Copies of this chain bind each other. A is one copy, B any other.
Amino acid sequence: MSQPRRDSKWWGWGEPANVPELDAAALTTLRERIGEIEAQPRKAELGDFKLPAPAPLPQNVIDAVGGEGVFTGAEDRLRHATGCGYVDLARLRSGRLEAAPDAVVLPADADAVRRVLDACAAEGVAVVPFGGGTSVVGGVEPLRGAHSRLISLDLAALREVEVDRRSLTARLGAGLRGPEAEAELAKQGLVLGHYPQSFEYATIGGFAATRSAGQASSGYGRFDALVSSVRLIAPAGELETLETPHTAAGPALRELVIGSEGVFGIIPDVTVRVRPAPRQRRYEAWIAESFEAGAEIVRGLAQGSGLPDVMRLSDEEETEVSLALSGPRGVTGKAFNGYLGLRRRRGGCLMIVGHEGDEESVARRRALAVRELRRGGAAYLGRSAGRSWEHSRFQGPYLRDTLMEMGAMVETLETSHTWSRLGELHTAVAAAIRGSLAAQGTPGFVFSHLSHAYADGASLYFTYIARARHEAAVEQWQAVKRAASEAIVATGGTITHHHAVGRDHAPYMEAEVGQTGIDVLRAVKDQLDPTGIMNPGKLIR
């Protein structure tokens, strides 16, 4: 890795050639829901940006990484200036970007990271750690804090892979993207099993730094549960937790590094638990009678015989939208409509149920799940619908680009709560988003799914689509974000189940952990990063 990567759209998500299209029926549904939309008058081009001139880096920062690891070209700076949230892409599309790193710095290894941090601490240069750049909460926003210079520290070259076959663990370099890590493990017949929607571009270091959760987290576990040990290179020292499976030696420092979002230091590599690659993946779809009935099924599984590896329940709105947007080619739609015809009723909630493993384990665990699904009144929709979901599982952000191109605002947010209060949270957040959109004259539609279930509760993932106010996209987004966040806080949910805090959720951290919690995080930061160079303005303000 001798150059920062440029293999995704600078103005949107991922592979430029992957452009999903909406058919006429989908367009009709969309118009019915959010009214007429119109594309942005003119989408910005790379040359349109007027980035502030880069402040020159101190020579010892340049020396620390070696001159060939420093990039100050406009495209590299631009590509490291935002994450991939809706508001980031809206700003990129409009050509308005107020700030960018002064340079992108690409250390060749962990030793170079150490040298760069030392030089930056000595010179007062702020450092934004950069993995895949896929944050949807402003996690890589180039905020300088008290510092006049800022680098984006791109960890793409940290690509170590070291497998302990007997203990089923693997030390993985922070810069490995999801598919790269899985490809390395697959060579040894192993799998990590972490599939967030950002899988294609997000990195191992980012998964750890943000407490990521993947679509198969019910089976494989959230990323924090997959981490066996972790390293941290901080301005004031280095931390490495033991690789023993567990310990009672005091507070879990591993859990202080995981989720630290770059504000304490750099995670150069992570040791994770891996598994034999599954011989079978069986994904299928079911229809629950209602969201409540479906949630009861999921709760029964989580508290009883065990969850499938993937378990996802769309609410009524999301079920309808999935069907509408999947179009005539969408097998989900065909099977669902066939089912509805048979049953002579409308509605219901789509459930995706996925099992992975050897044939015997899949059959055994599936039988338990099927019993609970039938007991809860769900109807089997078949494997083709499940496969359809599986094959499009990373398509969400591509579809967002298509919708944004048409002039829509498309954003997601997520939270979690105990089973006792999940229904209340579902209602309150959806109402808050709808209300805020309507109040702005851009009534939208809001839908959600339950995923990442646990014995004591589950997460809710909301998506909303509305007409974008091109002239005030940021303000429009901010208003909705505020309304949704306040509803979450008022209901006692977490401000984020798996997107992390970044810049966008930092104002709600006091509601999450209290003033004492903030004080503790601040004390740890002051210890590890006494000059405050690490990712200013994120996590704790």
Chain B, Cβ-Cβ closest to A271: B456
> Given A242-B494, A417-B244, A454-B246 in contact, is the A523-B524 Cβ separation under 8 Å?
yes
Q: Which 6 pairs across A and B sit closest by C-beta, in order of nearness? A: A237-B516, A255-B255, A245-B457, A523-B527, A211-B248, A247-B494
Q: Could you tell me the distance in whole angstroms from the C-beta of A289 to the nearest C-beta in chain B?
A: 19
> Given A167-B419, A256-B256 in contact, is the A241-B523 Cβ separation under 8 Å?
no
Taken together as a complex, chains A and B put the C-alpha atoms of A353 and B501 apart, in Å, by: 43
Chain B, Cβ-Cβ closest to A263: B250
Residues of B within 8 A of A242 (CB): 492-494, 512
Residues of B within 8 A of A519 (CB): 236-237, 527
Chain B, Cβ-Cβ closest to A211: B248
In the complex, the answer to whether A251 meets B259 with C-beta atoms within 8 Å is yes
In the complex, the answer to whether A248 meets B500 with C-beta atoms within 8 Å is yes
A97 at the interface (CB under 8 A from B): no
Q: Could you tell me the distance in whole angstroms from the C-beta of A278 to the nearest C-beta in chain B?
A: 13
Number of copies: 2
Q: Could you tell me the distance in whole angstroms from the C-beta of A521 to the nearest C-beta in chain B?
A: 6
Within 8 Å by CB of A256, from B241, B520, B528, lies B520
A243 at the interface (CB under 8 A from B): yes
Q: Which residues of A line the B interface, CB within 8 A?
A: 164, 166-169, 210-213, 222, 224, 228, 232, 234, 236-261, 273, 275-276, 299, 303, 305, 361, 364, 415-420, 452, 454-459, 492-501, 505, 509, 512-517, 519-524, 526-528, 539-540
In the complex, the answer to whether A520 meets B524 with C-beta atoms within 8 Å is yes
Chain B, Cβ-Cβ closest to A458: B245
In the complex, the answer to whether B497 meets A305 with C-beta atoms within 8 Å is no
In the complex, the answer to whether B261 meets A456 with C-beta atoms within 8 Å is no
In the complex, the answer to whether A250 meets B539 with C-beta atoms within 8 Å is yes
Taken together as a complex, chains A and B put the C-alpha atoms of A133 and B466 apart, in Å, by: 60
Residues of B within 8 A of A276 (CB): 303
Taken together as a complex, chains A and B put the C-alpha atoms of A206 and B242 apart, in Å, by: 24
